[in-house]
A and B are shown apart, each in its own frame.
Chain A
Amino acid sequence: MTTPHEPGPAPLIGTAPLIGTAPDLRTAADRYRRMRLIRGFEELALSLVKSGVIVGGTHPYIGQEAVAVGVCAALRSDDLITSTHRGHGHVLAKGADPKRMLAELAGRATGLNRGRGGSMHAADFSRGILGANGIVGAGAPIAAGAAWAGVRQGSDRIAVSFFGDGALNQGVLLETLNLAAIWRLPVLFVCENNGYATTLSAAAAVAGSALGRAAAFGIPAETVDGMDAEAVLAASISAAERARAGGGPGFVECRTYRFENHHTRDRAFRLAYRSAEEVAAWRERDPLKLASTLISEDERAAIDAEVARILAEAREFAEASPAPDPAGACDHLYADGLRPRAGAVP
């Protein structure tokens, strides 16, 4: 009835002493490098969707890189995040290996989730990434629970819940804001407002505002330019350190824009919910352009070349990796290795 189960994740509870910026995102060059990595990764993913290496498509993060990197730069390695269906940026910003991330998207056994999660469920518990999520708003209470556990365990780690403007209308998010506020949980709520829940504009969908939601629960909140990683970082450090010191949750609304469609599948539809002018105006404010102004041209060129190498290796790794054995399609369904009955009896 049972089969051996592979070992579980390493214990999450860490005691890294560093406060403030993540060790690998300390400088503007580090942050540019990570944003370039995310951009390049997403472009590579688009081409691999087109060529059929990635099945099922992706929700491209292109245009929003400053949010993931700005927020994660304010975290410690033992801090935890929950992500969204548009989660590649968060996962890479928090430090997941791009090789294993790309292998996951390609459904390979070497992927972060051994090919069981794919684009919408990528997770890396060794990096504090508790998972992207296919249901809008669903990660918020999971982050709050992880934050609650940290307090119980005597840790000063915090948890970040990334979500979009679409989640502002999900009941469970509002319930979670309330719980986090009454229990003063160390949660950073990051609203990545890219203006559209799939095709419905936030203007048409959201009564009141993101900040109004936070204010209603007494949660300190601010809106920042989500195309500017440095502005996101500054707001995140302030909210994260307040939460870490026991000051309760914080809320940062990052105004941003996705340059691509909601999902790769939508490319075929030529949807007209956004004007070409609007897209072009936001593209003018490309977060990578903005970040590159903080470093020298030589530095930028060197980083771009380095990232290109990393992505070439990632592609090679993913494409060369084996697909998971179909005989193991129900592996990992239960932590104790319980084997469910097969769908057909011989």
Chain B
Amino acid sequence: MSKLSYAKAMNKALAGQLEADPAVCVFGEDVGAGLAGLTLGLQERFGPRRVVDTPLSEQAFASLGTGAALAGMRPVIEFQIPSLLFLTFEQIANQAHKISLMTGGQASVPVTYVVPGSGSREGWAGQHSDHPYSLFAHVGVKTVVPATPSDAYGLLTAAIRDDDPTVVFAPAGAMAVREDVTWELGPVPLGEARVRREGADVTVVAVGHLIYDALAVAEELADEVSVEVFDPRTLFPFDWPALDRSLARTGRLVVIDDSNRSCGIGAEILATAAEEMRLTAPPKRVTRPDGAVLPFALGLDRALQPSREQLRHAIRAVMK
């Protein structure tokens, strides 16, 4: 039985799509060398015209992908660090995302943006440790945060095949995960959540790598409370019907989310549950602080990230 690593899963997904569709191509910095692991070996296999090393011109190559997409290609664009999404927010949110609507449906922009190693990598400080998935969910760009290697494979595959711009966040906190895969890997549809652990008392929505913390805490508290761990997988479009089904069973909600607190996806999940779903206790969320900028020193970096300790408290609070 082989253990599939997260980076290898993404690599397989990319290779599979490059193989399957001549319109698929890759742009990014150091993609030829495969620095981030995602594209390792792909330039040798598919050539430098399909796996294209770009100069350090993120804004230009982000929109170059849009132009190529408008002319029939299906580009995948790798950004080495999550903060580059701030730099290219104009190209993604204001250009690629709006073209379908603004042209009255004349055109679509099938571009996939991938960030291998989003969120804190520990010790990379203020400008390399962001996790801005909520921004993209807010503007309505399709946004996925795979937690496991097989989901990374499946969601990246689905994102590349999707006809709209999609951002794939591969959390640094999940990239060390290896998974026993005994089934044939396949695409995972965008917009479908997955219950990682069934439970009766409280639903913990955990985003990306935080499912591992949620699963550990659920196990730890198993004698005390029955925790359901809900992995949304796609943040936009969010699988609201699945959350509704989970809350119909549990009636209690905790969200653990690596966003800053204000206007993060956790806020949206709580608001929607409060407005539209069955809750028997006030919900809780565990997030980064408002406006967090991760400081360098390891203790400071970790102090601002959602923790198991905070999650335990939140679960106990909603159970009271």
Which A residues have a C-beta under 8 Å from some C-beta of B? 1, 5-6, 8-9, 11-13, 80, 82, 111-117, 121, 123-125, 130-131, 133, 135, 138, 140-150, 152-153, 159, 171-172, 175-176, 178-179, 182, 330-336, 338, 340-341, 345
User: Is the pair A338, B237 in contact by a Cβ cutoff of 8 Å?
Assistant: yes
Specify which chain B residues have a CB less than 8 angstroms from the CB of A12 in the assembled complex.
70-72
Instruction: Confirm or deny: B60 has a beta carbon within 8 angstroms of a beta carbon on chain A.
Output: yes
Contact segment of B7-15, B95-103, B210-218: B95-103
Q: Given A113-B102, A145-B69, A332-B101, 8 more contacts at CB 8 Å?
A: A13-B72, A113-B104, A116-B101, A116-B103, A125-B106, A130-B67, A130-B107, A142-B66
Name B71's contact: one of A80, A131, A182, A336 (CB within 8 Å): A80
**0/1 string, B50-73, CB within 8 A of A gives 1:** 000011010111111111111111
Q: Tell me the smallest distance from the CB of B223 to a CB of chain A, in Å.
A: 38
Alpha-carbon distance A336/B166, docked complex (angstroms): 13
Specify which chain A residues have a CB less than 8 angstroms from the CB of B110 in the assembled complex.
335
18 A-B pairs in the complex with CB atoms less than 8 angstroms apart: A12-B72, A138-B90, A140-B63, A141-B60, A141-B61, A144-B60, A145-B63, A145-B64, A145-B68, A148-B67, A149-B68, A159-B67, A176-B63, A179-B60, A333-B100, A333-B101, A336-B163, A340-B237
Alpha-carbon distance A130/B70, docked complex (angstroms): 8
Specify which chain A residues have a CB less than 8 angstroms from the CB of B91 in the assembled complex.
138, 141, 172
Alpha-carbon distance A115/B32, docked complex (angstroms): 43
Nearest B residue to A171 via CB reads: B59
Specify which chain A residues have a CB less than 8 angstroms from the CB of B103 in the assembled complex.
113, 116-117, 121, 123, 125, 131, 332
User: Is the pair A332, B100 in contact by a Cβ cutoff of 8 Å?
Assistant: yes
Known contacts A152-B25, A178-B57; is A8 also within 8 Å of B68 by CB? no
Specify which chain A residues have a CB less than 8 angstroms from the CB of B287 in the assembled complex.
none
Interface hub of A80, A115, A145, A340 (most chain B Cβ within 10 A) = A145
Specify which chain B residues have a CB less than 8 angstroms from the CB of A140 in the assembled complex.
60, 63
Q: Tell me the smallest distance from the CB of B38 to a CB of chain A, in Å.
A: 21
Which B residues have a C-beta under 8 Å from some C-beta of A? 25, 49, 54-55, 57, 59-73, 75, 90-91, 94-95, 99-110, 140, 142, 162-164, 191, 237, 240, 275-276
Specify which chain A residues have a CB less than 8 angstroms from the CB of B191 in the assembled complex.
1
Known contacts A116-B102, A335-B164; is A176 also within 8 Å of B60 by CB? yes
Q: Tell me the smallest distance from the CB of A218 to a CB of chain B, in Å.
A: 14
User: Is the pair A335, B59 in contact by a Cβ cutoff of 8 Å?
Assistant: no
Q: Tell me the smallest distance from the CB of A345 to a CB of chain B, in Å.
A: 6
User: Is the pair A179, B164 in contact by a Cβ cutoff of 8 Å?
Assistant: no
Known contacts A145-B69, A175-B57, A333-B140; is A138 also within 8 Å of B106 by CB? no
Specify which chain A residues have a CB less than 8 angstroms from the CB of B49 in the assembled complex.
152
User: Is the pair B106, A172 in contact by a Cβ cutoff of 8 Å?
Assistant: no
Specify which chain B residues have a CB less than 8 angstroms from the CB of A125 in the assembled complex.
70, 103, 106-107
User: Is the pair A143, B67 in contact by a Cβ cutoff of 8 Å?
Assistant: yes
Alpha-carbon distance A141/B62, docked complex (angstroms): 8
Nearest B residue to A147 via CB reads: B67
Name B63's contact: one of A6, A172, A182, A341 (CB within 8 Å): A172
Alpha-carbon distance A150/B67, docked complex (angstroms): 10
Alpha-carbon distance A28/B263, docked complex (angstroms): 58
Alpha-carbon distance A112/B163, docked complex (angstroms): 21
User: Is the pair B163, A121 in contact by a Cβ cutoff of 8 Å?
Assistant: no
User: Is the pair A332, B105 in contact by a Cβ cutoff of 8 Å?
Assistant: yes
Q: Tell me the smallest distance from the CB of B30 to a CB of chain A, in Å.
A: 16
Specify which chain B residues have a CB less than 8 angstroms from the CB of A159 in the assembled complex.
67
Alpha-carbon distance A250/B90, docked complex (angstroms): 26
Alpha-carbon distance A8/B64, docked complex (angstroms): 21
Name A138's contact: one of B63, B65, B108 (CB within 8 Å): B63
Alpha-carbon distance A345/B63, docked complex (angstroms): 36
Nearest B residue to A11 via CB reads: B72
User: Is the pair B66, A135 in contact by a Cβ cutoff of 8 Å?
Assistant: no
User: Is the pair B95, A138 in contact by a Cβ cutoff of 8 Å?
Assistant: yes
User: Is the pair B102, A121 in contact by a Cβ cutoff of 8 Å?
Assistant: yes
A-B complex: 9 closest residue pairs judged by Cβ atoms: A145-B67, A114-B104, A335-B108, A175-B60, A141-B63, A332-B105, A149-B71, A335-B163, A145-B64
Specify which chain A residues have a CB less than 8 angstroms from the CB of B106 in the assembled complex.
8-9, 113, 123-125
